[in-house]
């Protein structure tokens, strides 16, 4: 048996999310990060030389950069222990019947094929390092919409990928962006041509099954002029007793008059370091709308950024973060107003319990030329007991005085009086707390599409149900 | 014993190391309505909170016997399930939780069965009509933005829905306009029968124009120092409490 560093892991019973499969793979890289490992991954993927070079350069940058001096403690994370690439023992399939039974079952229990039939125009399903299933409705293909994994995109749409890949999030941005540049694998590529409105959402689901592994999927979405898209991203992993890392990268390009809604519910097991980078560049009159639910993980650092580059570009951010025992979730959002009349609206709620730490960290920057820009930030935190911790760290950086700025932060503990009040009506203490928490997030969940509201509420209930050892 | 509902023996209680109740004795039979009056700070709400097991209050002596069982250590929800109800002097606001979904959960819990939605809605509407509460209040968040009087009416609505055996009304009539006092009184009268009982804590004689109490108790400085019939309330209205203090 391999010797691994045991990590102390607290977890709730997460039901279907915890279904673990036997680890089978057709290729698995060695632990750690060396140019040889990177070259081997690139070779395994049959990549063009520019991508191999890109990876190797990113690795150099990775070694040069330090860990962020702020935020959660990452000292336990040792990349030498992580297997960065695991190719499952299947190819990319276009029919669920071709997907190996246990993998298919996992996605079944996560509700993916069912959602695909009911409410999605396309689905991508990644298992460990590679996408194992992809589909898109024919009418979208007929309109020129492209939805595939990045590996396929590099082969079939090399010019587009080359033009955009990691230009929005360059590897030198921070250590984990560099790591991503070196070892990225899987993810989604979406291209929506000018004027095409994709009315039904596309969804990519990323499942990390193997212990001691990393998942580094890359999502690249380009919504051309006047086009629109709703993209849904889901992530989960079963619990393991060793550290896993997720350092995905999402790059969104929203062109003039285009709009993109990017919804995510991440639900990681509590051995996961979730160090994800997401960023959107929005052109004139374009809109980016983020919906972000952060559940699970041991540590999360996630701050989706919107760069409002064109006049009247808009960003909306809605976030819910829930930190339980042994978790440190440092989440928020950044908006850069880089053009006149741009606007942003940020609304977040965070919950902490059983000693969990939930921090809102956000930044709004308004550049010199961004006259008449507008930004509203509302962040609220609810601590369910005196052991838990919440804080808000908003940074506001304004280089222009012709702006309209609103900021409101509220941090509070759950009211004992309110719990007593509900209990006096026959409601148990657990349920009373759950009602108060659901009420707390209600202004946010009620704005979400129904399926999302339901899933968020289910996850909140799951988190509230308590802890097993 | 069959008629006996509540017996409080020599009950003492403290909050934050301050002794507030100093040996309360009280006996309530089914079918009875008891009024408790007393000056501000006497301990009336403390007694109500203790009866409902508020976590901040601690019984230091004595016992509370309800339907033959000592209930000193039951939790608030267990007490509610046994049919005890407290109409709060200052009802809490709970954002994001609608009156309707809250009441349905509460009703399901105290009646120990999932109440059917349609049945529940019908029942709720009836009770709201009786209490002259606008229909839209069902969809509003629990007490959020309610006026003082509306909060009190909402307490009575909850009482009417949950149909408790022992109802404790802590100054439910305070802050109500004349019409509302009448409506709330009607709510009490509608519910009152031979198998339940009420403790009505009040400062005002007005509510007693509609509800005829069997007993009026005066609570001063943590003790019940006098018990009599409804005429005691009239006397207090005229003479205040000073003459009762020794
Ligand atoms: N949490 C608390 N901490 C400290 N003192 C308290 C607390 N709760 C109640 N008290 C004190 O206990 C005493 C009794 O209060 P209580 O609320 O029972 O009075 P009351 O008879 O209901 O008065 P009112 O008629 O004004 O409602 C008061 O002196 C009050 O200040
Ligand atoms: Mg009082």
Residue-wise pLDDT tens digits, B48-63: 999 999 999 999 999 9
Given an 8 Å threshold on Cβ–Cβ distance, is B110 in contact with A426? yes
- The minimum CA-CA distance between B235 and chain A, rounded to whole Å, is 34
Q: Is B17 in the pocket of ligand 1 (CB under 6 A)?
A: no
Given an 8 Å threshold on Cβ–Cβ distance, is B77 in contact with A426? yes
Relative to beta strand A25-28, strand A86-88 is antiparallel
Where are the extended beta strands (E) located within A66-216?
A: 86-88, 122-127, 130-136, 146-148, 187-192, 202-207, 214-215
Which one of B12, B13, B15, B225 would you pick to mutate in the ligand 1 pocket, going by the greatest count of ligand atoms within 8 A of its CB? Answer: B15
* Residue numbers in B near A414 (CB within 8 A): none
Q: Using CA positions, which residue lies closest to atom 24 of ligand 1?
A: B40
Given an 8 Å threshold on Cβ–Cβ distance, is A426 in contact with B92? no
3-state helix, strand, coil in chain B (%, to 5): 35, 30, 35
Closest CA to A298 of A346, A237, A375, A371: A237
Q: Is B56 in the pocket of ligand 1 (CB under 6 A)?
A: yes
d(CA A22, CA A78): 24
- The residues, ordered by sequence, that sit 6+ positions from A34 with a Cβ below 8 Å of its Cβ are none
ipTM of this predicted structure = 0.97
- CA–centroid distance, B32 to ligand 2, in Å, is 22
The crossing angle, in degrees rounded to 10, of helices B117-130 and B99-111 is 110
A465 pLDDT tier (thresholds 50, 70, 90): confident
How far does CA A412 lie from the centroid of its chain? 27
The DSSP-derived string for A222-261 is: EE-TT-EEEEEEEEE----SS-EEE--EEEEEE-TT-EEE
A18 pLDDT tier (thresholds 50, 70, 90): confident
Quick one: which ligand is closest to B51's CA? 1
Q: Assess contact for A190 and A147: CB atoms under 8 A.
A: yes
Q: Does domain B4-94+165-244 have CATH number 3.40.50.300?
A: yes
Q: Assess contact for A347 and A378: CB atoms under 8 A.
A: yes
Q: Is B172 in the pocket of ligand 1 (CB under 6 A)?
A: no
Structure tokens that stand for B38 in this block: 């007393």
Report which of residues A285 and B2 the model is more confident about.
A285
Q: What is the pLDDT of residue B244?
A: 84
Given an 8 Å threshold on Cβ–Cβ distance, is A439 in contact with B86? no
pLDDT digit string, tens, across residues A152-195? 999 999 999 999 999 999 999 999 999 999 999 999 999 999 99
Across all residues in chain A, what is the average pLDDT? 92
Question: Domain extents for chain B?
Answer: 4-94+165-244
Given an 8 Å threshold on Cβ–Cβ distance, is A427 in contact with B55? no
pLDDT digit string, tens, across residues A230-243? 999 999 898 888 99
Report which of residues A17 and A48 the model is more confident about.
A48
Closest CA to A67 of A56, A58, A79, A75: A75
Give the angle subtended at the CA of A30 by the CAs of A27 and A34, to the nearest 5°.
Answer: 125
Q: What is the pLDDT of residue A449?
A: 74
Taking the CA of residue B42 as reference, the ligand 1 atom at the shortest distance is 21
Encode burial over A58-86: b for 16+ CB neighbours within 10 A, e otherwise: bbebbeebeeeeebbebeebeeeebbbbb
């Amino acid at each position: 048996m391999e010797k691994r560093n045991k990590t102390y892991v607290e977890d709730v019973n997460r039901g279907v999310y915890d279904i673990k499969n036997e680890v089978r793979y057709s290729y698995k890289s060695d632990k750690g990060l060396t140019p040889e490992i990177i070259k081997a991954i690139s070779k395994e993927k049959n990549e063009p030389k520019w991508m191999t070079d890109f990876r190797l350069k990113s690795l150099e940058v990775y070694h040069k950069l330090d860990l962020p001096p702020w935020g959660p403690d990452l000292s336990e994370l040792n990349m030498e222990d992580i297997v960065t690439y695991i190719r499952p023992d299947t190819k990319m399939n276009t029919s669920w019947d071709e997907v190996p039974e246990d993998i298919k079952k996992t996605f079944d229990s996560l509700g993916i094929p069912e959602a695909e039939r009911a409410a999605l125009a396309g689905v991508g399903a990644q298992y460990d390092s590679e996408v194992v299933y992809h589909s898109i409705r024919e009418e979208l293909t007929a309109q020129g919409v492209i939805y595939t994994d990045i590996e396929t995109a590099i082969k079939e749409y090399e010019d587009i990928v080359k033009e955009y890949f990691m230009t929005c999030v360059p590897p030198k941005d921070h250590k984990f962006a560099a790591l991503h540049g070196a070892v990225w694998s899987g993810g989604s590529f979406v291209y929506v041509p000018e004027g095409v409105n994709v009315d039904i959402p596309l969804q990519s689901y990323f499942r990390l099954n193997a212990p001691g592994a990393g998942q580094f999927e890359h999502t690249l979405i380009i919504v051309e002029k006047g086009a629109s898209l709703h993209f849904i991203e889901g992530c989960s992993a079963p619990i393991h007793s060793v550290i896993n890392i997720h350092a995905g990268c999402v790059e969104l390009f929203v062109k003039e008059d285009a709009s993109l809604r990017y919804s995510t519910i991440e639900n990681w097991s509590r051995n996961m370091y979730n160090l994800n980078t997401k960023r959107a560049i929005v052109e004139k009159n374009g809109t980016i709308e983020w919906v972000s639910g952060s559940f699970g993980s041991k540590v999360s650092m996630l701050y989706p950024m919107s760069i409002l580059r064109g006049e009247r570009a808009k960003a909306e951010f809605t976030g819910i973060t829930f930190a339980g025992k042994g978790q440190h979730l440092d989440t928020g959002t950044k908006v850069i107003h880089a053009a006149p009349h741009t606007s942003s609206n940020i609304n977040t709620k965070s919950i902490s319990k059983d000693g969990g730490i939930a921090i809102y960290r956000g930044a709004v920057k308004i550049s010199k030329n961004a006259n008449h820009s507008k930004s509203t930030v509302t962040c609220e935190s609810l601590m369910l007991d005196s052991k838990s911790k919440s804080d808000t760290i908003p940074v506001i950086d304004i280089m222009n005085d012709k702006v309209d700025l609103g900021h409101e932060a509220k941090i509070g503990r759950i009211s004992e009086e309110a719990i007593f009040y509900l209990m006096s009506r026959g409601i148990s203490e657990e349920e009373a707390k759950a009602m108060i928490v659901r009420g707390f997030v209600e202004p946010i969940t009620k704005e979400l599409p129904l399926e999302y509201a339901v899933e968020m509420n289910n996850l909140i209930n799951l988190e509230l149900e308590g802890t097993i050892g | 014993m069959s008629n006996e509902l509540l017996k409080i023996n020599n009950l003492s209680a403290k909050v934050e190391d301050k002794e507030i109740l100093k040996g309360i004795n009280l006996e309530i039979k089914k079918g009875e309505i008891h009024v408790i009056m007393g000056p501000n700070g006497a301990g009336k709400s403390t007694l109500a909170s203790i009866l409902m097991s508020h976590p901040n209050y601690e019984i230091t002596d004595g016992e509370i016997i309800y339907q033959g069982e000592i209930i000193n250590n039951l939790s608030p929800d267990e007490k509610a399930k046994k049919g005890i109800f407290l109409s709060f002097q200052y009802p809490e606001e709970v954002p994001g939780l609608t009156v309707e979904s809250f009441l349905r959960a509460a009703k399901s819990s105290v009646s120990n069965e999932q109440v059917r939605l349609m049945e529940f809605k019908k029942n709720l509407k009836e009770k709201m009509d009786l209490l002259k509460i606008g229909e839209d209040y069902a969809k509003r968040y629990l007490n959020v933005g309610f006026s003082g009087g509306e909060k009190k009416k909402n307490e009575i609505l909850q009482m009417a829905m949950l149909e408790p055996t022992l109802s404790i009304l802590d100054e439910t009539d305070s802050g109500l306009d004349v019409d509302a006092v009448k409506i709330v009184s009607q709510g009490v009268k509608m519910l009152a029968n031979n198998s339940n009982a009420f403790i009505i804590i009040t400062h005002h004689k007005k509510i007693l124009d509609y509800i005829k109490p069997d007993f009026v108790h005066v609570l001063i400085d943590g003790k019940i120092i006098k018990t009599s019939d409804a005429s005691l309330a009239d006397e207090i209205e005229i003479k205040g409490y000073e003459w009762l203090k020794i």
